Structure 1
Amino acid sequence: MFSKMKILVIRFSSMGDIIYTTPVVRCLKKQVPDAEVHFLTKPAFKYIYDSNPYVDKLLLLKPSLTDTINEIKAEKYDQIIDLHNNLRTTIIKLRTGIKASTYKKQPIRKWLSLKFKLNLIAAEHLVDRYLKAVKFLGVINDDAPIDYYVKAQHDISKLLPPTHQNSYVAFIIGATHFTKRMPNYKIISICKQLNLAVLLLGGNDVKANGDEIAAAAGKQVYNACGITSLDESVFLVSKAKSVIGFDTGLTHIAEAFNVPIASVWGGTTPDLLGVWPYKVKNSLIAGIELSCRPCSKFGLEKCPLGHFKCMNEMPETGIVDFANGN
């Protein structure tokens, strides 16, 4: 009944949310007979899918939504799988007239959970929430991790000093918003307690943080923030002994390589977003219970109450023991 379908999967942003669509695409490609699977996203996120073997064609959102809609119409899709569910995807579905199945965001439940600290969202991973949108096709969860494909086999000797080439803990210190990041003094303290060399990873926006941390923590810490490209950073994460990271894209990408991950949460919480480490055999979710937490869905530029207890009072022992393999 559903054989030889031409399917368009849509998710425009952000990095982490798109990463978690990869099991859906893989399951569609492998479980729907002769399916041709295309994926539509923003140009800024094409790197997530441009090496993915389960996507037959990658479409990029154009500046004009009308141009994107015309491209979709020309492809003559049998089915749209809308994993974004926003105004633009609604317009796309209406104007193309293509049959569509849509991911349910539960915005009211999320708002009430955030505003009144109510537990109205089921503890269900985002991947499983996405998969509900393709259940009608007979697609089931294959229980495999997310997919991410490094673009090149980089030479580790050209990326890291000799002290860090054999075994290291990758500490991802970047995140888009302040309330997702641990203060430098806490990172320094953790680094000093780790048994292995420590590699700091993040963008240019946290390079100065990395310099401060490396200077205070000693020679065992190497700051690669703002130095390595994203693909190089992913490659280095894939080779790490373990990973410590905040609620940010690179931490989620690390899940593709099944390295032990300590996922550290400040102002945001994994249950609300449904994005804890997925199908990772060895992981730790670090966060503390506070009446003010979560303070936002996606992070803020400062703590609304000024004390930032969610990170300042974060216990270090569990994170350290996990990264040290204890």
Structure 2
Amino acid sequence: MKRILIINPFGIGDVLFTTPVIRALKENLPDSFICYWTNERVRYLLEHNPQIDKIFGLSRGDIKKICSKSRLRGFGALCGLLRNLRKEGFDIAIDFSLDHRYGLISRLIGIKKRIGFDYKNRGRFLTDKIRIDGYADRHVVEYNLDLLGLLNLTPPASRNLELIVSDEEKEKARELLFKAGIYERDLKIGIAPGAGASWGRDAVLKHWPPKNFAYLADKLIEEFNSKIVILGDAIEKSIAEEINGAMAHKAIDLTGATDLRELAAIISCLDILVANDGGPLHMAVALGIKTVSIFGPVDPVVYGPYPVSPKHIVLKKDLSCRPCYKKFKTPVCLRDKECIKSITISDVFDAVRRLL
């Protein structure tokens, strides 16, 4: 039985983009033991996935946060993690981190076969690697599936993203919506006006203006008698408040009121999600919920809904300067976010109407 460690310390979309690889591993190696090492925040997305046997939730970023409060505790957390990983006796590491430190850790804990991407010579501790200069011209999922070739494995029968919500979680989500005055028969449209937390200060480059979301929400209520649910993290609460403050009607604001599992369950109850380029968008795609997504500096061919489907409408503007996010960097915007601001309320409204 092969014991496989998957390493991905990144955000929601990045982790979901690896789920087709997990499916392929189980199809090719049904008796394999698969462990996923990610960060503490995102680990909960992987719960209930029957193809994953164990999850470790502690990334380099998590350890840095612990060290900022106590270096001793941070060192202890790292040592404990390494000890537990070594005990598992992994045969193979599939490393999506693009970070040589994770490759070094895999080597130190005794994993013989270490595969991944070599970006800027960061794959020097990998035994088998694919050289990349960044992601371009095709989706990240396709890049991830390329790694299967290093193990002589075939692609999965289905390349859909996967996120499992239990019946119990979905029922609790329905109860939460019911208490907020939203019923099964209602047209439920979610909006995710934040996103891009991993971008830090640059996250605003991905954000469609809050007032646009407000006017869109009012129009959806007036035209379709829909119920609007605002979703997001606690750090996006001010955006939600700005939207509700600018609306003639009122939306149900659940920003910061749910953890990731609860957010997934709420999204699974929606008819449509309107979202910026970020985690909730990819959660909806993985759950089979229709989406309208708004893309600015990022190329949806590379980072958009996957696989491409009529259920997922991507809105973008063809400007000479976009997409400007390349090789994991975004240049200073000299055009006042024209790429995202030029997407009109009518553009988004018409896209929603096409999905109804």
TM-score, normalization: structure 2?
0.78
Partner Cα distance (1:89, 1:234) in 2: 29
Q: Residues 59 and 78 of structure 1: is their aligned pair in 2 closer, same or farther, counting only changes over 3 Å?
A: same
The within-5 A match list for 1:248-263 is: 248-263=278-293
Aligned amino acid, residue 158 of structure 2: D
Task: Indicate yes or no: 2:126 matched with 1:126.
Answer: no
2:313 aligned to 284, 307, 312, which one? 284
Q: Does 1:103 align with 2:123?
A: no
1:74 to 87, 92, 102: 87
Gaps of 5+ in 2: 64-74, 121-130, 198-202
Map of 1:267 onto structure 2: 297
Write the distance in 2 (CA, Å) between the matches of 1:67 and 1:155: 36
Q: Superposition RMSD on alpha carbons, in Å?
A: 2.6
Residues 98, 118 of structure 2: 8 Å contact kept? yes
Question: Is the 8 Å Cα contact of residues 267 and 294 (structure 1) preserved in structure 2?
Answer: yes
* 1:91 shift after superposition: 0.9
What does 1:238-253 align with in structure 2 at a 5 Å threshold? 238-253=268-283
Partner of 2:66: none
Deviation digits for residues 242-264 of structure 1 (CA, Å, limit 9, x no counterpart):
11111111111111121211111
2:154 to 113, 129, 139: 139
Separation in structure 1 between the aligned mates of residue 329 and residue 234 of structure 2, nearest angstrom: 19
Amino acid at match of 2:211: Y
Query: Is residue 173–residue 262 contact of structure 2 (8 Å, CA) maintained in 1?
Result: no
Q: Which residue of 1 aligns with 2:258?
A: 228
Report the equivalent of 1:148.
Answer: 163
Change (3 A) 1:163 1:128: same
Distance of 2:254 and 2:248 partners within structure 1:
15
Q: Which consecutive unaligned segments of at least 5 residues does structure 1 have?
A: 111-120
Tell me what 1:211 maps to: 241
Distance in 1 separating the partners of 2:329 and 2:263: 23
User: Aligned pair in 2 of structure 1 residues 97, 157: CA closer, same or farther (>3 Å)?
Assistant: closer
Question: TM-score scaled to structure 1, two decimals?
Answer: 0.84
Report how many residues are paired: 310
Q: What does residue 171 of structure 1 align with?
A: 191
Determine the structure 2 residue equivalent to 1:114: none
Q: Which amino acid aligns with 1:279?
A: P
Q: Among 14, 18, 23, which residue is 2:20 paired with?
A: 23
Identity of aligned residues (%): 24
Given candidates 186, 190, 197, the residue that maps to 2:212 is 186
> Shift of the alpha carbon at 1:71?
3.1
In the alignment, is the contact (CA less than 8 A) between 1:259 and 1:280 conserved in 2?
no
- Matched residue type, 2:204: F
> Could you tell me whether the CA contact under 8 Å between 1:10 and 1:39 is conserved in 2?
yes
Which 10-residue stretch deviates more, 284-293 or 250-259?
284-293
CA shift, 1:141, in A, is 2.9
For 1:264 and 1:250, the matched residues in 2 are separated by: 12
Amino acid at match of 2:53: D
Task: Tell me the distance in 1 between the aligned counterparts of 2:17 and 2:52.
Answer: 15
Structure 1 residues 92 and 261 mapped into 2: Cα distance closer, same or farther (>3 Å)?
Answer: same
CA contact (8 A) 1:170 1:237 kept: yes
Contact kept, 8 Å, 1:164 with 1:199, in 2: the verdict is no
- Aligned letter for 1:84? S
- Please show how residues 12-51 of structure 1 align to structure 2 within 5 Å: 12-51=9-48
The verdict on how the C-alpha distance between 1:229 and 1:280 changes in structure 2, with shifts beyond 3 A counting, is: farther
SS state at 1:43 partner = coil
Structure-2 residue corresponding to 1:113:
none
| Contact 2:45-2:261 within 8 A present in 1 as well | no
Contact 2:194 2:239 (C-alpha < 8 Å) held by counterparts: no
Whether 2:105 is the aligned partner of 1:83: answer no
In the alignment, what sits opposite 2:105?
Answer: 92
Q: Closer, same or farther in 2 for the Cα pair 1:263/1:253, shift >3 Å?
A: same
Q: Which 4+ residue blocks in structure 1 deviate beyond 6 angstroms?
A: none
Residue in structure 2 matched with residue 117 of structure 1 by the alignment: none
CA distance in 2 between partners of 1:222 and 1:90 (Å): 44
Q: Distance in 1 between matches of 2:210 and 2:336?
A: 15
Give the CA deviation at 1:276: 1.2
Deviation at 1:44, TM superposition (A): 2.4
Q: Which residue of 2 aligns with 1:322?
A: 351
Indicate conservation of the 8 Å contact 1:145/1:280, yes or no: no
Give the letter for the 1:10 counterpart: I
Q: Is the 8 A contact 2:10 2:38 kept in 1?
A: yes
